[in-house]
Amino acid sequence: MRIYLDQIGCRLNYSEIDTLAGRLQMAGHLTVRSPEEAQVIVFNTCAVTTEAGRKSRQRLRQLHAANPTARIAATGCWATLRPNQAAELPGVSLVVDNAEKDLLHTLLEPWSAELDTPDTLMRMRPDGNPFHFAQTAANQDPKPDLPQDADKAFDKAFEKAFEKDNVIERRARTRAFIKVQDGCNNRCTFCIVTVARGESRSRPIASIVEEVQHLVAEGGQEAVLTGVHLGSYGRDLADAERSDLKELTRAILTDTDIARLRLSSLEPWELADGFFDLWSQWPQRLCPHLHLPLQAGTDKQLRRMARRCTKESFGQLVADARAAIPELVVTTDLIVGFPGETEDDFSESMAFVEEMRFAHAHIFPFSARQGTAAARFGQQVRKVEKKERSRRMHALLERIGSAERARFVGAVRPVLWEGVGQPLTDQSGRLWSGLTDNYLRVMAIAPAHLDLHNQIISTRLEELNGDTLFGTLC
């Protein structure tokens, strides 16, 4: 089958789609670059906010409009929370919830006999799995039980066989998101993701190390560890496999040659003692960037959100990290207009955010999500006030973020260059874009004949323009 894969939302969604692409290719299917080329479209939805849910619905309609003859499979958090709504959208033939997302490659197989020509079917590599049937809008019969060992033969082949065109297609990017954990045991009162993703579930260290080794063999320069609650990694594993994020990080850096390892969003608790010491052991490979979601800058709002930190503990964590990790860049997530937030609360939060010197923040006006505790709270903030507070918080982050980025003007940082350099109008060179190890966006001009893609090159940061630093190659 010709399959187009698409997603919105968090890095975990991107990691899942990347893994699915590899599994589909190993089964003999072709992943295509546009929905117009596809027989089947898979879309990984998001539900972190009401707006994300709206965009998921909108994108599903757009995909159907782009190719009305393609069959659409909807998965991800919004499809899990609103399966009936997803199934009713035009073109959607299959809805797969998060609990069965890892079986998508098998759930799509029954369509292959209908959509592929006999010649195509003959070229496919058998995966050793029986066909499985999924619940659709037209078929409300429950799925049969899946044998526990149904995927063993396929997964074994998938882990070992990254070959030829499939490798090139799957690893077109310079870095890969590696899903190490899913689900969350916390019950933050605003969060619908816990409902959509379920309890925390971690992968064993050995399988993650093997995936990173494959990435290195394919030429990848950077691995980004992702999860719904990355900081809880390994605590749910049993007996000898029980671990934590510190041990996982150490194992990857010890047992692989990955040039750069980056950690995605880390909740500011549950980190093992001495966690930041890892950076002194691998200063050239462990990226000096931490994304630590704060969400609110007052103890009152943190308690109402059921966050497991205080202003003091969060501030101490940031101070400890900066003391241990030279040139660290810290980014965060913030919610404005949470129920009960007064103007005084917001002012206190603004002051704390400025004190923390975040380089960047994702700022979300509070979105009441059905199924969360906060949706039932009293003292809901009016929409106009949330919009105004969001504007003010964005203005603050623009100012303090600019000051953080300006600290690095004149410094030399390793930059991982990506994409295709854009030719200058006079054809004298190309303009390239990349990221430093500490997550600063950089642009630089290189001679037209020089291909920087997927290379890490020391670059002097010469000038700041908005969110972007301009540099020269060393």
Digitized pLDDT (tens) for each residue of the chain, 474 residues in all: 899 999 988 878 888 888 888 888 877 788 898 999 999 999 999 988 888 899 999 999 999 999 999 999 999 999 999 999 999 999 999 999 988 888 888 888 888 767 765 554 444 333 333 222 233 333 333 333 333 333 343 333 333 322 323 333 333 458 888 999 988 888 899 988 778 888 889 999 999 999 999 999 989 999 999 998 999 999 999 888 889 999 999 999 999 999 999 999 999 888 889 999 999 999 999 999 999 999 999 999 999 999 999 999 999 999 999 999 999 999 999 999 999 999 999 999 999 999 999 999 999 999 888 889 999 999 999 999 999 999 999 999 999 999 999 999 999 999 999 988 889 888 889 999 999 999 999 999 999 999 999 999 999 999 999 999 999 999
Token pair 């149904």 is found at 150
CB atoms within 10 A of CB 45: 28
Token pair 């093992």 is found at 272
Nearest partner of 359 among 284, 291, 442, 295, judged by Cα? 291
Task: Give dist(CA 130, CA 146) in Å, integer.
Answer: 9
User: Which residues 6+ apart lie within 8 Å of 95 measured at CB?
Assistant: 73, 74, 75, 79, 83, 86, 87, 134, 135, 136, 137
Overall pTM > 0.85: no
DSSP character at residue 473: E
Coil, strand, or helix at residue 93? strand
Q: CA dihedral in degrees (405, 407, 413, 416; nearest 10)?
A: 0
